[in-house]
Structure 1
Amino acid sequence: MPDSFDRIAVLGLGLIGGSLLQALARGGYTVTGYDPDPVEAGAARGIGYTVAASAFDAVAGADLIVLAMPLPHLDAALEAISPSVAPNAVLTDVGTLKAPVLQAVRRRLPRARFVGGHPLAGTEQSGFLAGHPLLFRDAPWALILEPDTDLQAWLSLAVLLCDLGAKPVPTTAAEQDAAIARVIGLPHMLGEALALTGLRGGELGLSLAAGSYTSGSRVARTRPELVATWCDGNPALISALDDAIAWLTSSRDTLAAGGSVLPLAEAGHRARMEWERREFGPVDLPVDAEALRQHGRDGGWITAVVEKDGPELGELRLLGMRPVR
């Protein structure tokens, strides 16, 4: 079986890192947190969680290190912990964009057993007190599998994520970043634009704002500096914006000519309903990196890592789910 983790360090105790600290502790793992913000560190410590005085202290002796700080703080954090990282420790992260994190870790800790990660479980709230130990239940969790990724480390993380109730999705950094440009970056930019456009309607429009406006602009409540880290530096977001702008421009031109937005409404309704109505079925997967990456491309995730029975006892078997064609 993959390695288990005896000591885990979580660096960064905001919504995601704080929720992970709580989930790991609730699952019986030995976990230490750290956050340079005394408010976040104090909130976690006050509830009874173990919080180290420094990132260096938090990772000492840890066999799994979770990087949960904002992307602009990553380089400094890697420099601070590098002398304290155990030679065989596994590193992962929870950031939205994966390519910049992968580059930073390769630059600062080139020999690290790094497996990038991204839980799709955030909300517009932030901070430790906004977290919850069940935040990751049934949430997709991109788990990066590059050609040079340590497969044993990847499998060990997949076991842990399944234990937390999450759905590990095998993918590469580039494929993950291209995908989330359309389902995270673009929705946030559209939400900001909607919030601004609503203001242009004056006080009457704001008084009449109801579900469509509040739901569509909900993500504009997210801290702006976080939104920037999810969007900046992701070239795939440009093509996603181009697609959205093309739909809107076409509909705008149709309206200007006295036509109807029905084609846009029908296409959007069909896309949303097809997404909601997808059916999934179980699959057995080989312990093979490319097969796992293809499973992720097909919309699948891992449900369990188990040992085979019978004459092949000791070999691993991966169980998963993917859309039924």
Structure 2
Amino acid sequence: MTAPPPTPPASGRGVRSALADAARGFADFSATPRLDAELLMAHALGITRERMILGHLDSPAPDGFAALVTRRLAHEPIAYITGTRDFWTVTLDVAPGVLIPRADSETLIEAAVEHFAARAPARLLDLGTGSGALLLAALDQWPGATGVGVDSADAALAIASANAARLGMADRATFVRGDWATGIADRFDLILANPPYIAADEALAAEVRDHEPAAALFAAEGGLAAYRAFVPDLPRLLAPGGAAILEIGWKQADAVSALVAAAGLSPTVRADLGGRPRAIIAIGTAMDRS
């Protein structure tokens, strides 16, 4: 005897109609309203988004979905609601107190892959590691490498360490509390950094301004304070043939390039997929690389 279909929730809504309603509500403030709704629905169902789309659009909407929609309507970031964010080839746990990794930051990993080509960097340094996104993505890219992540926030270090353990990289990634490069004495083949670079008076979307940690977003001196703090240390930290790759705001290419050049390194600007300047690749002189 065929089992009867599941009883729909009291509202009578199924997944398909609930997704449409949520997406309409998100459209006023989100650039990806349908995607937001699908990610929240998949989280409420406890399955992947792909599985939901392929086999659950006609299922009853779960009771917990409405509460997730309410949080999103208050402009809470999707990553904080679901607790995860995909970055490069890894999935990271994230939470309030740590910057949410962005696809734009993958530009740094792409630049590193191009710089090292067939050879692999052995020692990595991630300044301002946050969730560990850049370091752990690079370690996943080069399984023989080891690295150090530095951050001044205990909450970020705890999340980064937990991510490394969950990804099976605890023996390859060390996380330390520090003030940029102060106290770091080793030399590294690859240095990555996504420092705070937003000027204090710059306007941000509410979901960023009201939810993500200000210390990971804003910097004094027109957004350049962090670069001025650690760029002078890069020459002593870089191993011969190595590269430091720094994320920048799209209007900061000239200013950060000048800081890199003043430190004795050669800067190259790398654009993101949208064509905007997103990273500075800093390498030593020909003599340094020999």
With the shorter chain as reference, the TM-score category is 0.3 to 0.5
The structure where helix makes up a greater share of residues is 1
Please, what TM-score do these two structures have when normalized by structure 2? 0.36
Please, what TM-score do these two structures have when normalized by structure 1? 0.32
